[in-house]
Every structure is written in C-alpha cells, then in structure tokens.
Amino acid sequence: MHFFAYHGVLEHETIQGNNFSVTLRFSADLSEACTSDDVVDTVNYAEVYELVKEEMSIPSKLIENAAYRILRKVKEAFPQINLIEVALSKMNPPVSGQMEQSTVIISE
C-alpha cells in the first residue's frame, strides 16, 4: 500500500510530508472462507486498506508508532488473525546522504 503522509521528527516532514509504503503479512484461520466462498468469512483486504489508510492519516513522529497503531487496529478488527507483521517504510528519508527508504517491521 502506498500513502502520502506527514510522519517525522523534523518540522519540515510534518509540513511537506513524504511517501510511505505499508506491507502487511498475517496468519489466520481462513478455513471457513475456503469452503463458504464468502467475503464475510475472511480478512477483507479492502477493509484492511481502509484501516491502514485511516491510521496513516494520523501524523506520528516515529514510523514505529504508526506501524504499531496499524497492527493494533487490524488485529482488533479481525480477531481471527493470530500472527501479524507490519512493515512501514518512509521513502527518501531526510538524511545527509542518499537513502532509498527506512523501514521498520513490527510483529505480534
């Protein structure tokens, strides 16, 4: 998932914003969806996207904080998830050299 958001410690990051990438991986019992063929029995990725979008719109100083909020929100909405990993990347972070991205990975 890709978002433009205002996460960062530096003042200009909270004003100018930056591009971010979010990747979610999870494990869940989806056996019901396998036989029912009904979206209500699975982890609906459209709903997951909206949850992530909502959390990305709330500025954080640290991407660790934003990643953890995403993890908690998705687990809360989909209790069938038993393991989740959130990777949140800030593209072109403000450093004194060239860096493509800075990524944190949080799992639970």
Taking the C-alpha atoms of residue 39 and residue 45, their distance in angstroms, rounded to an integer, is: 10
What are the tokens at 40?
């209500």
Q: Is 73 a catalytic residue?
A: no
- 3 state SS of 80: coil
Q: Which of 61, 73, 75, 90 is catalytic?
A: 90
Angle between helical axes of 45-56 and 63-77 (0-180°, round to 10): 150
Taking the C-alpha atoms of residue 38 and residue 88, their distance in angstroms, rounded to an integer, is: 30
Catalytic residues: 90
